[in-house]
A and B are shown apart, each in its own frame.
Chain A
Amino acid sequence: MAFEVTINEDRHSIDVDGDTPLLWVLRDVLGMTGTKFGCGMALCGACTVHINGEAVRSCITSIDSIGDAKVTTIEAIGKTPAGQKIQAAWLDREVPQCGYCQSGQIMSASALLASNPRPTDSDIDDAMSGNVCRCGTYVRIREAIKQAAQSGG
């Protein structure tokens, strides 16, 4: 059946089974490939998007659960104040290596910063430990979040 969803402020009508994870709607139906597949079980965070500003794992979020909520993906996170700061810090600190997990890292970090402008180390641990980085960029992720938090606002 068809579902109406709002992604990055655009309305889309999508004809898939209701239990189809949002991840595959984004990547395979809409061609928005910035959101990544890592595990399919909410264990790695590569697929993180925002639903009404909150970080969620799109690989276990079924399309029929979204309703009128607003979905934001990596492609549009730079339009939010927190996302913009996070991306600038990521660029400045040169966080990515292979880069594959970084969409998810940036989405989790942006949600953290939007709700908590001055996160402590322990806040960062809590918000970011669901996002795996196999290249082990954790040192720079932490530095970049702190830098973004200090960049005003």
Chain B
Amino acid sequence: MALAHIDITQGDLSRRGFLRVGATVSGGLLLSLSLSFASRESEAASSDNFEPNAFIRIGGDGQIVLTMPYVEMGQGTYTSIPMLIAEELEVGLNQVRLEHAPPNEKLYVNPLLGVQATGNSNAIRGAWEPLRKAGATARTMLIAAAAKRWSVDPSSCRVQNGEVHHQASGRSLGYGALAADAARMPVPENVTLKKPADFKLIGTPAKRLDTPAKINGTAVYGIDIRPPGVKIATLAQSPVFGGRVKRVDDTAAKAINGVRQIVQLDDAVAVVADHMGAAKKGLAALKIEWDDGPHANLSTSDIARELESATTKPGAVAQTIGDADKAMAGAATKLEAVYQAPFLAHATMEPMNCTVYFRKDECEIWIGSQAVARVQAMAAKAAGLPPEKVMVHNQLIGGGFGRRLEADGAVRAVEIAKQVDGPVKVVWTREEDIQHDAYRPYWFDRISAGLDEQGRPIAWNHRFAGSSVIARWLPPGFANGLDPDSTEGAIDLVYDLPNFHVEYARVEPPGITTGFWRSVGPSHNVFVTESFIDEMAAVAKQDAVAYRRALLGKSPRAKAVLDLAAEKAGWGQALPKGSGRGVSLQFVFGSYMAQVAEVEVSKEGAVRVRRVVCAMDCGTVVNPNTVQAQIQSGINFGVTAALYGEITLKNGRVEQANFDTYQMLRMNEAPAIEVHVVGSSEPPGGMGETGTSAIVPAIANAVYAATGKRLRKMPIDPALLKQA
């Protein structure tokens, strides 16, 4: 464990309550941070219950090591987080090394999620202030140590390239040589953060530290772990959620060369073998009889009907402004619509997998997880061991998107490993991965608006029904019938809407586990609200950009991104017949974004997204290179969902199984994407998910512009767009 050798021999707690400074046993400088305190300073704790969750060590060799609660899953956090520290310490990015945090829910809590997890686009948002303050504190103390040694005024010293310099005498000392002394300096009460104008790293395109290993096959993901003697297992889980194994005939499977063992669980069967080829062959040879259980006849249409019915009854009030019903009664024009968004699988490129070595009184786990403390807790329960007897080694993640916030794969692997002598790697087939996901909830929305004689909105009523992921995943987050995720993007809109009312009804689909899926609540809310604003503009016979623009009096940052996207996209310029442009605008995850999508609809109704222009204001950009990449990524993720994404159930079974039936966007279909970032010195907003929620309505609105047909149900059904 990374922290085992650290011992705080002395400590001095900053009065601001988020930082402790001390020495390491090897004579280095150690800063311990409590990020949750720093992000809510009104709750700053007293020194006796200080619980740090991030550590910065400056060793005698001058190397700076950062231990953080966030994981790398492709979003570039392992590069952008060290940039914050390096900036204030005036060192190069190559002088900061980042270590995975071991699982400890108490220590590595994510300040914005309240648990140890990486999700909701908030790594940079949570770390922005405290990490820079910690860096500035260390810098101040290193200067103080040098000034003391030279008997000079600290203000006559400056730092550069990991050294403290005294210009007048030409002396300089490296951080390594000063670290031990610095640890004994008083902790400054107030530190000065660098001004944005003086940033050398923040805002510059930094090279990602994890790229070299990802282009030559040496990067190790969870699925690549090979403890000595490891066996490979693959499994079949009950095809109907809640079903059980009735009978297994494993005679043929056991006869296959390389198959070692068949493991039977209540609701799954696994084949353990020397290699995955034999395990898959063994699985195909098993004759399993299932008891389908209570959900044997479940279908997606049943679930949709139940959700629809929930939207005819009052839900929990998420936000209300003015009096929407009264204003509606006096409206010159009224419009109403229902929208639907399907269940979606994550389909990470790395299928679910987990390696477990279960021994008599302890258990070792190798996995790529967005929530390693959750893995530890749930695996311990499955193993029947106390959490401290479960060691979790977190690995690189071959795609998270929310799927790896779940611990079901680890639980399964422990259940299997308990019956296997030696380490076993449980690898799900793609079919299992698609058919046993924690799906993005199915949503049903009913929405209406009233317009005055000029077409301006005077009333907005929105009620939607669907599963609350938070209620299962983080129960305290669900209160009074609401949770912050389900409603994000449906409330606190950027527009001036004087009479506004939004209700949410939680309805859980029977037997189906729902989960966080890239862009979470906004993945459906922004689709609905931004499609509906477009409907309002059309009813008012006004241009979609101009209509939105007139409602942005209170949102200058929103107006700026809308104007920029429209300008760069050539909004208003003619397009060939069958093509159209659509716009969307949102403020979610702390970032403003506008997108203009350009689509082409064939006579057969096939939609091709040609070009996407995106303008965003995500506050201060830490690593522009990563921001560009994440927006492109989020957009393609959303285009995939709009064109193809749909998980359906029939007779209790998921109908999709692999990339032929659950399609992904490919190179030949991928749009040209332009990302324009509006400069801003506001605190950083999230950007890992924003691209996904904004693109879906932009496409739907573009299809309307091209065909006059309004798409209120995702994914796009080409049959609706086919020309007669």
Contacts and interface: CB of A to CB of B under 8 A. Distances in A.
B637 A134 contact: yes
A89 B316 CA distance: 53
B348 A134 contact: yes
Contacts of A78: 216
B280 interface: yes
B632 A136 contact: yes
B629 A97 contact: yes
Contacts of B635: 136
Contact of B632 (A40, A96, A137): A137
A124 B219 CA distance: 26
Contacts of B664: 44, 132, 134
Contacts, number: 196
A17 B277 contact: yes
B217 A99 contact: no
Contacts of B639: 136
A100 B217 contact: no
Given A20-B277, A37-B351, A87-B215, A43 B659 contact: yes
Interface string B23-39: 00000000000000000
A128 to B, nearest CB: 4
B637 A100 contact: no
B280 A40 contact: yes
Contacts of B573: none
A78 B213 CA distance: 13
B73 interface: yes
Contact of A36 (B257, B280, B349): B349
- B215, B218, B636 — which one has the most chain A CB atoms within 10 A of its CB? B215
Interface string A23-46: 111011101111111111101101
B660 A131 contact: no
A147 to B, nearest CB: 14
A74 B75 CA distance: 23
Contact of A99 (B275, B281, B396, B430): B396
A56 interface: no
A133 B277 CA distance: 24
Contacts of B218: 34, 75
A8 to B, nearest CB: 11
B636 A138 contact: yes
Contact of A139 (B277, B349, B673): B673
Interface size class of B (residues with CB under 8 A): 35 or more
B216 A75 contact: yes
A16 interface: yes
A106 interface: yes
B136 to A, nearest CB: 29
B658 A43 contact: yes
B502 interface: no
Given A91-B211, A98-B397, A100-B350, A136 B216 contact: no
B278 interface: yes
B207 interface: yes
Interface in B59-97: 73-76
Nearest to A31: B226
Interface in B619-646: 625, 629-630, 632-637, 639-640
Contacts of A43: 658-660
B315 interface: no
A129 interface: yes
A101 B217 CA distance: 10
Contacts of B74: 96-99, 135
A5 to B, nearest CB: 14
Contacts of A24: 275-278
A137 B217 contact: no
B221 interface: yes
A140 B632 contact: yes
A141 interface: yes
B554 interface: no
Interface in A89-111: 90-91, 94-103, 106
Contacts of B207: 94
A138 B636 CA distance: 9
Contacts of B213: 99
Contact of B667 (A33, A34, A40, A131): A131
A118 interface: no
A142 interface: yes
B236 to A, nearest CB: 14
- B75, B76, B211 — which one has the most chain A CB atoms within 10 A of its CB? B211
A4 interface: no
B219 A99 contact: yes
Interface string B682-709: 0000000000000000000000000000
A39 B633 contact: no
Given A38-B430, A138-B670, A87 B216 contact: yes
A17 B274 CA distance: 12
Contacts of A133: 349
Given A20-B275, A25-B275, A94-B211, A44 B349 contact: yes
Given A39-B430, A136-B632, A136-B670, A100 B215 contact: no
Given A94-B211, A97-B74, A129 B666 contact: yes
Nearest to B79: A94
A91 B349 contact: no
Given A99-B398, A132-B666, A139 B672 contact: yes
A140 B635 CA distance: 14
A90 B215 contact: yes
Given A87-B216, A98-B397, A98-B399, A25 B659 contact: no
Contacts of A35: 217
A102 B349 CA distance: 10
- B212, B257, B277, B633 — which one has the most chain A CB atoms within 10 A of its CB? B277
Nearest to A103: B217
Contacts of B276: 23-24, 27-28, 37
A98 B221 CA distance: 10
B670 A74 contact: no
Interface in B305-351: 347-351
Contacts of A21: 277
Nearest to B225: A33
B258 A106 contact: no
Contacts of B76: 97
Interface of B: 73-76, 207-208, 210-221, 223-224, 226, 232, 256-258, 274-278, 280-281, 347-351, 396-401, 427, 429-430, 625, 629-630, 632-637, 639-640, 658-660, 664-670, 672-673
Given A28-B232, A138-B670, 17 more contacts: A16-B257, A16-B277, A17-B278, A24-B278, A28-B275, A28-B277, A31-B226, A39-B658, A40-B430, A44-B664, A74-B217, A97-B633, A98-B396, A99-B210, A99-B213, A125-B668, A135-B637
25 contacts: A17-B277, A23-B276, A28-B277, A31-B226, A34-B218, A38-B349, A43-B660, A97-B74, A97-B75, A98-B349, A98-B397, A98-B399, A98-B400, A99-B210, A99-B211, A99-B219, A99-B396, A100-B399, A129-B668, A130-B666, A131-B666, A134-B399, A134-B637, A136-B632, A138-B670
